[in-house]
Homo-oligomer: A and B are copies of this chain.
Amino acid sequence: MSGVPELLLLRLLARREMYGYELVKAIRLVTSEAISLGEGVVYPALHGLERNGALRAKRKTVNGRARVYYSLTAKGKRRLERLQQDWNRIQAGVNASLDAPSHA
């Protein structure tokens, strides 16, 4: 039903490559604290997306810190588009319910 975490990750990574820890903070920031995904959600999600070919991982060391940068593959782009459609569909459905008249 949800898949929101995956959608957010893919969307951010569609713009530029980022690493896990950065994504955790970026999501809090972009959503003005409305959504806060813990590391326990983000890391497993990234591994899963890499495993099924939606993401590509690249290891880099910056300031003596090991980072794992992720970027979207073609498959990941397709997946993002589909999740985005799903989200729009659900959003429309829920909002219709919230606004709906007392019903016929």
Binding site for B on A (CB under 8 A): 1-2, 4-5, 7-8, 11-12, 15-16, 26-27, 30-32, 34-35, 84, 87, 89-94, 96-98, 100, 102-103
Contacts and interface: CB of A to CB of B under 8 A. Distances in A.
Contacts of A2: 1-2, 4
A31 B97 contact: yes
Question: How often does this chain occur in the complex, in copies?
Answer: 2
B103 A8 contact: no
Chain A facing B: main interface SS: helix
Contacts of A100: 30
Contacts of A96: 30-32, 34
A1 B2 CA distance: 8
